[in-house]
Each structure stands twice: as structure tokens, then as C-alpha cells.
Structure 1
Amino acid sequence: MPTRPERHRPDRRRFIANAAALAAVGLLPSAHAWAAPCRKQDSNWIPDDAFLAGLPGIMKAFAVPGVGIAVVDDGVVAWSRGFGVTNAVTGTPVDARTVYEDASLSKPVFAYLVMQLVDQGRIDLDKPLVQYRRPDYLADHPWIEQITPRDVLRHTTGLPNWRSKPATEKLVPMVKPGTRIDYSGEAIFWLQLAVEAVTGQSLDDSMREHLFGPAGMDDSSYTWNADLAARSVYGHRAHDAAETGMPPQMFREQWSIAQQIADRWGKPLSAWKYEDAERALPEVIALAPAGLVTWPGDIVANAAASLRTTVQDYAKFTTLMMAGRKRAPWEIREATRQAMLTPQIDIPGRYTQKGLGWNMEPTRDGPVFYHSGSNGGIFKNFALGDAQRGRGIVVLTNGGSGSFVHQRVVRAATGYDLLSYDL
């Protein structure tokens, strides 16, 4: 479903420095931060004309029909452009209103909401998650009791990425929480249910109130409606896939069936919470092809994987992570922003680090924050930012080989050959 678990590789460089101030306000588990001197470069991250002229050829080589690129410079969205088509069969052109399936780029956006609730005193990063909500699919295991929101956001819960049979399989940690990094969509989804309990709202309603509305992210949603259906890209197989034809569309197919129930209830999918999905599940299963929908998580907003945005909206979000900007009252505090971009656990041998919702990687100019996204083997995305220099780039694609495209875009735009590409 979302991204594959990350593999451990040797540490190439580490930038660890004192961050006692963040630890003092309870945002860091220890007094460590990542820092490196910044070197000002004259060029921005907008790809040059020569590269953009050749981009359609790169897309064709890797069978990626559509790409959206947006660039942040000096802390604002400075440039954006779409290429190709949303659907290789219909040939509908990509435009400024095209909505992409962001896949695991969903996670940093959700993490921002969680940190807003932390700033409001409604969530404690180090309080056991079971004290907020204990879904009935959790295993009866002592390690479950130790998992905290911090563990979730830095991927140290010990939980698997996704259960293979969520309708019948209990969720149980593989290792003691806080001892190693295990990339887990399941953990993010559990934290989402805790946020529902804290706010009394659906994920989309919380997002609209706290983030999407204030940030002007008007084309963003973790769920589905007729407008999103019309503007959303279709996913396409990798260039070297053995199968042919349009692949299964996963969320699009699941949502389309759930939409029938939502219409009958008069309650939009954006307002559904987990209990609504539980109630609707038998009817949806009856309407769906065998195996398409198996548990409530298939038909409710998924904080780990189901975000849809325009490329401009996602770039707007990355601007919130930039240093030195004047912050509106609804935004997270400066110390909280720094905590999101500060390594939260020291795992020897890792070449990248986990912040709260973001990954961090050293470069010649200092650390950058990033996240990748992969859904169903047919959507591949990447977002990268340099908080100190106020720069960022977002590349969203609708092809299973989209990583080959977004890597080339980011290299051409930034000059970085990132180690994170080896995941």
C-alpha cells in the first residue's frame, strides 16, 4: 500500500550538536540536534529550461504519463508546472488543478497536525498511546503499552508497516518500542484514531480546521468526492512491468464504492471517522469485488497514505517548515518546528535520521528534510526542503517508475545526489 519499509545502510556523515533548549520544552527525547553550516548558493531550485525540455523524453522512457513539480524559494511557492497527462488512456492533460495521490507524503502533513495538538496541550508526545485510544485490533502485549506518539512519528514503535490480513490479524510489535527504526503505516493510522478521540472530529475535518483552511490548501483531502474523482490522476504500471493495461487503482476503487454509502447516508466521506467505516463495512463488502475491501481502514481517511493534493498545495505545506518566517497564530511554535526537523533517536549505522514526521539527510550545505511516497506500485512521489535556506521542491507522479523521474528532477534542480534514493 504505502511506502516499503526502509533498509538500514551505513552512516556516511552525522551532524549532532547540542539542543538543550528543545529538550527543556519536552520536544526532544535528549539534548541532541543536527546542525551544519549553510553555504549560500546563487541559483534557486527551479529546473533549468534545458532540463525541462528533455523531461517529456525521460517520462516516456520510464512510462510515467504525468508529473507535477513545484519549487519553494525564499520561503514561498515560487514556481510550479505540470507535464503530460493524468490518464494514458484518455489523454487528459495535467494542469494546475490536477490532484495527485501523495502516498506516504501524507505522513509529514499529519505529523504537523499532531504537533499543533501538542502545542495546544491536547497530546503529549511521551504519553502511552493506549491512554488516548486502544483499537480492538491491538494485540494483548506489554510492548503495546509502551508505544508513544513520539515513537509513532519517529517510527520506533516496533510495529510492522502494514498487516497482511488486517481483518483477522492482531497488531503486535516486532521489537521493544524505542529500540530501532521500523517504518510503520499501522502506527500512523493508530495515532490518527487517537487524534479522532482527542478532537472528536474526522481526520479531514481536523485538517480543514487546523491546517488546510488556514494554509490555503484548498485542493487537499485525505478522502474523496466527485470533484476529487474528476481531477485526480490515475496510476500506471512501472515501465518494466510484465502486466499490461491499466492497473487496479486501489483507493479510487475503494472510495468509489464507499461513496455510494456516504451518498445514501447524506454524510460525506470527509466527515467519516473510524466508527462510520465500521458501520459501513458490511454494505461496502457486499458491493465490492472480492478482496478489495476487508476492514474499516480500507474506506476511511488514512493519515499514512491517502492524502490527495495539487503539487502547489503540497509546496505550500513545505513552506511551513522553513526557518526565519513570520508565523501565524495557528502555526506550530518555532521550537516545535525545530523539533520536527531534529533527529529524535540515535541509531548507529544509519545514514539518514528520523525527525518527527520528516527524515533528515546531510548534504554539503547542511541537513535537508525529505520524504518519499509510494502507493500500490503506481504512484511515486518525493518532497525535499532546506529549512535554513528557505528552499524546497515537490515532485508528484502517476507512474510506477516515477522514482526514476523524480530523482532526475531533484538532481537537476538541487545538484544533490541524495543517499535517500537508495531506499
Structure 2
Amino acid sequence: MNVRLKLVTLITAAALIIAGNCNSRSTSENPVKDPAQIQAVENALRPAAYIKGKPIAAMNILDRMKHYHIPGVSVAVIDNGKIAWAKGYGVKEAGGHDPVTPETLFQAASISKPVAALGTLRLVDKGILDLDSPVNDTLVSWKVPENEFSEKEKVTLRRLLTHSAGLTVSGFPGYATSEQIPTPVQVLNGEKPANTPPVRIDMIPGSQWRYSGGGFVVTQLLVADVSGRPFQEYMKATVLDPLGMNHSTFEQPLPQDKADQAASGHEMNGEAVKGRWHVYPELGAAGLWTTPSDLCRLAIELQKSFTGESNQIISQEMTVRMLTPGTGNWGLGIGLSTTTTEGEKSFSHGGGNKGFICMLFAYIHKGQGAVVMTNSDNGNQLVLEILRGLSSVYGWSVLQPKEVALVEIVPEKLTPYVGDYRAADEPDTPVLVSIEKNQLHIKSPEIGDWALSPLSETEFVYMDGGVFITFVKGTVGSYDQIKTMGQVFSRKK
């Protein structure tokens, strides 16, 4: 998994455990009921970490957008089982004047997965698909290639939805609007014009959790095969339309009439993505265009379906199964968590496509939650800062800033950390450690620039993101490895 995708997954993991003249637009569809509360959120953004003994800094949403060079943000909030408010901030494209509104479309990226899972589970509910039968027994247009791993265990729908099928390809970079777009079968086979390797079994299915976007492309094909309809048409008829997700579509490329309503994606340097965005034929993994309000409608349906209050898409029994932790604390297509403080159960999913970062979070029982979407590769930290602000204002027990105790390392002792580090699976992507103004920085084209604060001689923290970094000392006095987010980066020889 590349560094950027690792960060997007971190957003999901994080959820598991400004003033009156803001450049923003609210929506008549979701009337603003409490401007004071909205203003409180806009001025209550919180960092991931704070220094022990010092107050937690409250930050303004427009200031943080400027800090991260993010042109546009859209937020929708669930309270008391309803969409309490929705609001857009900034512009659809840097340098432009077209404002982000609650109806502006953003790429949902990996939040496409729980939406796709919901439509797939409808077929299970109807007896058309089975969670525990080998998917090759049902697939028509393509089969998962068998090998020594599948001789021991089979790829099943349950394993596809819980990222435990043993399939490769964690995520997809998408295709420029000027490029030829592959079919789903070409993607799965890694055949040109596909730009990713073939999706294959490389460990025993069911043996462990490992995030696999490739598995959701298999699911996408399975749904199309058994429904007899293109995946995007099936999802529109069975999920999007019934839930009133009228601004959402799995159409790729995005039709022109909808493109006019969409935000442009942006690179880390603040420039708009060439062609405005990438195209994702991997619909079930990353292909949804939507709004925060529409995703809140889906979250509310899951909340109500869990209690039997509403079962528009799947039965209460199936919803309970979907939101029951399995391998890797993962439900059927969505991340799950129980907070240690109050035992509150929640579901969440993060997403990151080229130029877009977003997050969905909702409690199962409390009728609360939120969706935040940004049109920038820099959106990781801002999304979480906004969610922490919501947590503070609405009294949620999740996403609380972490208290850290910093130590001092004199500048002359920072030199052994400096170097060029690489991940074994991405030897061409440098992760550079340097010293700037007597402070260590980690820089990478995938993550930008992180200023590190020392917790000890070997432990550091990126305060804005709450990311902890461990340096491993070598035999000659310098540091040979960096460990963070479950990934290891070794000093380039």
C-alpha cells in the first residue's frame, strides 16, 4: 500500500478508536437550524495532539483551509437521526469564483465501498448471492484465478467485503480524463490500458485482514453478473434512488451535465488536477460521485435499519450482520469501533482519490454522525480537525486530541536522523528527513511536509496529524529505519 493510501486508511482508523462572514453556502434542502452551533463548529477545529499542560488550541475552518491550501470543503452533520445542517466552504476550483455548496459533487473514493456493499448485501438478502459460497461459482464474465492458496480456502463474498479474501491491489490511482479507460475485466487482469497489477490471490483466503480495493472490483463484477445490469445502473435503482441520494452517481466518466456541479480535485501544491479529476472504472472500490448530505442519508438508513425502524435496502438482520465486527474489526464493507469510554458503537470509512479526501463517521445507536469532503490531496488532516471540532461541540466521545509530553533534543544531535528513507514496496518514492529551523521534518511527494516533535530520542509525533514515528538506530550511530502506521522505511544505501 503506498504512503498516501496508508494515510487515507489512517483516517478511518482515527475515527475508530468561522466567524459570521465565512465564504460558505448553506442549502435550502437542509435548512440551517442553529447558526450559533454551526459557527461554534467552524471555530472549534482541534489538532490531533496537544502538549501536556497547555490548553487545546481551537482553530477556524477557513484559517485551516488556507493553512493546508485546500480550495473547497463540504460538511454535513447528523443529529437526532436527521441531517441537522450542511454547508460548503471555499470554491470548486482554486482561482475560481464558483462556490462549494452542499449540492457540489465530490469523489467519494473508498467510501464507495460501503455503498457498494449495501447494494451487494441486498442481493444476499434476496437469496441471489450467498456470503460464504465461492464467488467463482457465481461469476460469469471473469473468474478469480485459482492457485495453491485457493486450494486451501476459497474467495467468498464475505471475505471480499471484509478485506480478508487474500487478494492483491490495495488501491487505484485512476486515469486522466485524456487516457483510455480499461474495462473492469482488464483491471482485474492487469491488462492494458489498466495501470495496476492483476488482482490475484497471494495468501490463504480468510487467514488475515488486508485492505484490498481489488476485492471490491471483483464484487462490482459479481453484482453486474448476477443482476444482469451494469453496476452503476443497479446501484442507482436499488440504493441511490430509494434513499433519495439524488446528487450521487456511479457513472464514470462523469457526464457533462453532472460535471458542471462537481468540484475539481487538487494536488498537494494547490494546483488543480489536469482534466479536473481522474476517472475510476473501479466503481465498487472508488467510483462514486456524491455529496456529504447524500452520504448522511445512507448513514441514517443504516442507523434506522439496525433498529428495524427503516429497512429500505436490506433487512434488519442483514444490517446487524453488516455492522458486526469480523476480521480486522471490519464489518461487511465498513470499519467498526466501540469506544472504550462509553461503549458506544460506530461505523466509518475514509476515502482518497486523486485530488480528493473525505470521511464518513456515524454512531450506530445515537443518531449522530457527519461526512466531510475536500477537493485536495492535503485534506487528510483538515478532515480530522473538522471531525474533532464536531466531536467537541456535539459531545462525541471519539476523535479526542491526544495529550503528549515533549522532550528537548538539542539541534546538534538531530543530524543522525537526516537521510533518504524508502519503503520496500515503493523503492522509487523518497521519504526525506531534514532539519529546518532546528526541527526535524519528513517530506514526501505522497504526504507533503511533516514537522516532527520529539517524545524521546527515538519517538516523534506529527502534531497536526497525530501520527507517531519511531526511528530505529543502526550500528554506526545513525538511524537506519523509520516505522510509522504499520509501515517500515529503510535508509537508502
Q: TM-score, normalised by structure 2?
A: 0.62
CA deviation map 1:29-66 (0-9, x unaligned): xxxxxxxxxxxxxxx9x964234152111111001111
Shift of 1:170: 3.5
Matched, 1:152 2:182: no
Whether the 8 Å contact between 1:100 and 1:398 is mirrored in structure 2 is yes
Whether the 8 Å contact between 1:47 and 1:409 is mirrored in structure 2 is no
Match of 2:78, SS state, is strand
The alignment yields a C-alpha RMSD, in angstroms, of 3.0
Shift of 1:5: 5.2
Quote the residue 2:348 is aligned against: 370
Equivalences for 1:337-376 in 2 at 5 Å? 337-345=319-327, 353-363=329-339, 364-365=341-342, 366-376=344-354
Residues in 2 aligned to 1:99 and 1:325: alpha-carbon distance in whole angstroms:
31
**Structure 1 residues 122 and 47, CA gap change in structure 2 (3 angstroms):** farther
Whether the 8 Å contact between 2:308 and 2:316 is mirrored in structure 1 is no
Whether the 8 Å contact between 1:86 and 1:93 is mirrored in structure 2 is yes
Q: Residue 405 of structure 1 is aligned with which of 371, 379, 382?
A: 382
Shift of 1:188: 0.2
Quote the residue 2:271 is aligned against: 245
The aligned amino acid for 1:338 is: V
Q: Residue 366 of structure 2 is aligned with which of 374, 381, 389?
A: 389
**Structure 1 residues 137 and 163, CA gap change in structure 2 (3 angstroms):** farther
The aligned amino acid for 1:373 is: G
Quote the residue 1:280 is aligned against: none
Shift of 1:314: 0.9
CA deviation map 1:175-209 (0-9, x unaligned): 11111111011110111101001100111211121
Whether the 8 Å contact between 1:101 and 1:306 is mirrored in structure 2 is yes
Matched, 1:52 2:42: yes
Equivalences for 1:236-385 in 2 at 5 Å? 236-238=266-268, 241=269, 245-248=271-274, 252=277, 254=279, 300=281, 302-322=283-303, 323-324=306-307, 326-328=309-311, 330-345=312-327, 353-363=329-339, 364-365=341-342, 366-376=344-354, 378-385=355-362
**Structure 1 residues 412 and 369, CA gap change in structure 2 (3 angstroms):** same
Matched, 1:65 2:71: yes
The aligned amino acid for 2:273 is: P
Residues in 1 aligned to 2:375 and 2:172: alpha-carbon distance in whole angstroms:
25
The aligned amino acid for 1:302 is: L
Name the structure with the higher helix share.
Answer: 1
Quote the residue 1:139 is aligned against: 145
Residues in 2 aligned to 1:221 and 1:122: alpha-carbon distance in whole angstroms:
24
Matched, 1:87 2:93: yes
The aligned amino acid for 1:372 is: G
Quote the residue 2:428 is aligned against: none
Q: Residue 205 of structure 1 is aligned with which of 217, 226, 233?
A: 233
The aligned amino acid for 1:225 is: P
Whether the 8 Å contact between 2:5 and 2:171 is mirrored in structure 1 is no
**Structure 1 residues 374 and 316, CA gap change in structure 2 (3 angstroms):** same
Match of 1:176, SS state, is coil
Residues in 1 aligned to 2:163 and 2:381: alpha-carbon distance in whole angstroms:
26
Whether the 8 Å contact between 1:137 and 1:171 is mirrored in structure 2 is no
Residues in 2 aligned to 1:421 and 1:110: alpha-carbon distance in whole angstroms:
30
**Structure 1 residues 182 and 391, CA gap change in structure 2 (3 angstroms):** same
Shift of 1:174: 2.2
Structure 2: runs of 5 or more not aligned: 18-33, 44-59, 174-186, 393-397, 403-464, 468-484, 486-493
The aligned amino acid for 2:326 is: Q
Shift of 1:125: 0.4
Greater radius of gyration (CA)? 2
Matched, 1:103 2:113: no
Residues in 2 aligned to 1:163 and 1:207: alpha-carbon distance in whole angstroms:
21
CA deviation map 1:43-100 (0-9, x unaligned): x9x9642341521111110011111111111222121111111101323101132111
Whether the 8 Å contact between 1:138 and 1:170 is mirrored in structure 2 is no
> Identity percentage over the alignment?
27
Larger RCO, structure (CA 8 Å, separation 6 or more):
1
Residues in 2 aligned to 1:386 and 1:227: alpha-carbon distance in whole angstroms:
35
Whether the 8 Å contact between 1:144 and 1:172 is mirrored in structure 2 is no
The aligned amino acid for 2:298 is: F
Quote the residue 2:133 is aligned against: 127
Quote the residue 2:5 is aligned against: 4
Residues in 2 aligned to 1:158 and 1:406: alpha-carbon distance in whole angstroms:
30
Q: TM-score, normalised by structure 1?
A: 0.72
